[in-house]
A and B are shown apart, each in its own frame.
Chain A
Amino acid sequence: DIQMTQSPSSLSASVGDRVTITCRASQSISSYLNWYQQKPGKAPKLLIYAASSLQTGVPSRFSGSGSGTDFTLTISSLRPEDFATYYCQQTYTSPSITFGQGTRLEIK
């Protein structure tokens, strides 16, 4: 299985901050990388697909970059509704699909 490692595991930030979350794959996955946001008690929500494509309806303050093994999710200016847990997901080896362990973004 391809292992997906996110860093940091948790992060404290303030409204208005610029935040970057990193996801590293244990082997190259090209651009087969998605990002999701999950709030407590809710299903995940797709933010970014194919490493850098913004899902329809997602605010432009979210952006993704990277290819191969190293990827980043950036929130340019945090809003209160962005405090949540974020997951990366690789689909390169479908059906053996794996998620990162998650990054919890908390209010400072």
Chain B
Amino acid sequence: QVQLQESGPGLVKPSQTLSLTCTVSGGSISSIGYYWSWVRQLPGKGLEWIGYVYYSGSAYYSPSLKSRVAISIDTSQNQFSLRLSSVTAADTAVYYCARSASGTYGLKVDYWGQGTLVTVSS
């Protein structure tokens, strides 16, 4: 059973960089066909896709966040990470890490972390 766990600061100051790490257990982050993803949910709102990374290190981002986002992977630690720069209060959200499986009709998110609330405030 694959499990994912987010970790990182729960409070970030405006204009700084939000950094989160996701630790994967119960499976290898180097498995073929899986993309390691980040999704966020603003308070009381819907889901927003951030991006994903493959074990090779290739990363893909949502166009709306692309200029501020970097997702990286550390296969030796079975972890992947999110960095979001120049944050504002509008980036306050629950951040989920997740595993996306590739199939005939695109990706499906089959495993999720529990989510971590990140608040942007001075």
Residues of A within 8 A of B (CB): 1, 30-34, 36, 38, 42-46, 49-51, 55, 87, 89, 91-92, 94-102
How far, in angstroms, from A104 to B106 measured CA to CA in the complex? 26
* A contacts with B: majority SS: loop
Q: What distance in Å separates the Cβ of A92 from its nearest Cβ neighbour in chain B? A: 6
- Establish whether residues B106 and A102, one from each chain, have CB atoms under 8 Å apart when the complex forms: no
How many contacts between A and B, using CB within 8 angstroms?
A: 72
- Establish whether residues B46 and A97, one from each chain, have CB atoms under 8 Å apart when the complex forms: no
- Establish whether residues B62 and A95, one from each chain, have CB atoms under 8 Å apart when the complex forms: yes
Q: What distance in Å separates the Cβ of B5 from its nearest Cβ neighbour in chain A? A: 12
Q: Which of B60, B64, B108, B112 contacts A43 (CB 8 A)?
A: B112
Given A50-B104, A97-B62, 19 extra CB contacts under 8 A: A36-B109, A42-B114, A43-B98, A44-B109, A46-B110, A50-B103, A50-B108, A87-B46, A89-B49, A91-B105, A91-B108, A94-B60, A94-B107, A95-B49, A95-B51, A96-B49, A96-B63, A97-B49, A99-B48
Q: What distance in Å separates the Cβ of B115 from its nearest Cβ neighbour in chain A? A: 6
Residues of B within 8 A of A (CB): 46-49, 51-52, 60-64, 96, 98, 103-110, 112-115
Q: Which of B64, B106, B114 contacts A94 (CB 8 A)?
A: B106
Q: List 13 A-B contacts (CB under 8 A).
A: A1-B63, A31-B105, A32-B105, A43-B98, A43-B112, A43-B115, A44-B109, A46-B109, A51-B105, A55-B110, A94-B106, A95-B51, A101-B46
* B contacts with A: majority SS: strand
Q: Which of A30, A43, A101, A102 contacts B96 (CB 8 A)?
A: A43
How far, in angstroms, from A1 to B65 measured CA to CA in the complex? 13
Given A43-B112, A43-B113, A43-B115: A98 and B49 interface contact (C-beta under 8 Å): yes
- Establish whether residues B62 and A96, one from each chain, have CB atoms under 8 Å apart when the complex forms: yes
Given A99-B48, A100-B46: A91 and B62 interface contact (C-beta under 8 Å): no
